[in-house]
Amino acid sequence: MAKAILRTAGDRAFLHFQGKIIPVLIGQRGLSLDKTEGDLRTPVGELPFRRVFYRADRLSHPVCAVGLPIEPIAPNDGWCDDPAHSDYNRAVTLPHPASCENLWRDDHVYDLCIVLGWNDAPAKSGYGSAIFLHLPPVSGYTEGCIAVEEKDLRALLEAGLSHITVEEPSEALY
């Protein structure tokens, strides 16, 4: 299992992996030791990779050295973000009766997307959902995920990255 460490420096974030330092984007409101649904923070802790999604109509099939499931997404793929629903923090088929995020987006954020193991064993209502490693949004921050450029994301998958540890920032940054 190859692990990267996510560290912050001021208002910037970086993945440290195999001697490389890769800039990443995190949640608009930084990191959280107490992640809650909709707080716009990236959770501190261990984030194992679960599976890979990609838009086959836009990108070529990714290569993943650790053998994760790789699945093309479709227009009816979603992710439930409704803490009151039994499908909370799970992939769902749209339309769905609860609040869900559409994985098939007009922008390119989820063209290549890794589902991270956060609040999924089992999911606890309100502790955060849809924490992914995905492509950077135009805004320059995420809603709680981690974002990295496509070339870097592909290289990380090919190099066998399977886990990210998000470190707590030093007290000087609070």
CA 97 – CA 135 distance, rounded (Å): 28
If one counts every other C-beta atom within 10 angstroms of the C-beta of residue 170, the result is 10
The average pLDDT across 44-48 equals: 98
Say what the pTM is.
0.96
For the cut 90, the answer to whether the pLDDT of residue 72 exceeds it is: yes
CA 153 – CA 59 distance, rounded (Å): 13
For the cut 80, the answer to whether the pLDDT of residue 31 exceeds it is: yes
Identify the band that residue 173 occupies on the pLDDT scale cut at 50, 70 and 90: very low
- Token representation of residue 144: 């709680």
For residues 47 and 166, the answer to whether their CB atoms sit within 8 Å is yes
pLDDT score recorded for residue 171: 54
Identify the band that residue 169 occupies on the pLDDT scale cut at 50, 70 and 90: confident
The average pLDDT across 155-167 equals: 98
